Amino acid sequence: KSGSLWLLVTATASHLPSLGKSSSRIMTLADAFLMFLLRNGIPVAALDVDQVAWPLQVRPAQGSEHYVGLGGEAESPETDEVSFIDAQGRAHARRWTHRQSGLSAVRDGTSTVLIVMEAVHAGARRDVDALAWALAQAIAESWHTTAERAPLSSSSAVFVFG
C-alpha cells in the first residue's frame, strides 16, 4: 500500500525501564500511541521484536495461525484476514494493525520495539510520514534513543533490521 510505513525503534533496557521501577514511562509510550491514533486516525501497533520468530510477513491469514489477545484469549485469525504472521505461525497483529497480539505486546523487559503504522487514504503518505516523524521525536525526547524510519511500498517491500 502506498501509505504503509514501518518504524523500527531500537532501545536498550535502560531506555525502556522496568514496570516495577517506573511504569510511567511505559504508560507514556502507550498513551503516546493512543494520542497519535486518536489525533491522526492512523492505527499504530507496537511489537516487542524479541517475541517474534523472524521473518515477519504481512499476508492474508490461512485461518490456522495462533493469536493471543491482549487479555490472553486464544483464537485464530479468520481466513484471508490481513495479519502479521511470524515463522512459527503466530499472528502478532490482525486486521492490519487494528488488533495487536498479547504475545508481542511491549512490556517489562522489552528492549527493541517495532512500531507499525498503515494508512491508505488520500494523503496517506504525507500523514504517515508526519506521524512517524512526530512519534520518533516523542521517543527521542522521552527515552533518549533514536528511531529508524523505513517507508514500505510495493516497490520497496522489505525492511531489514540494522
**Beta carbons within 10 angstroms of residue 99's beta carbon:** 18
* Pairing assessment for the beta strands 147-151 and 5-10 based on DSSP bridges: antiparallel
> Among residues of the chain, what percentage have pLDDT more than 70?
72
What is the model's pTM?
Answer: 0.77
Compute the distance between CA of residue 21 and CA of residue 138 in angstroms, rounded to an integer: 21
What is the rounded average pLDDT of the residues 108-133?
A: 80
| pLDDT of 83 over the 80 cut | yes
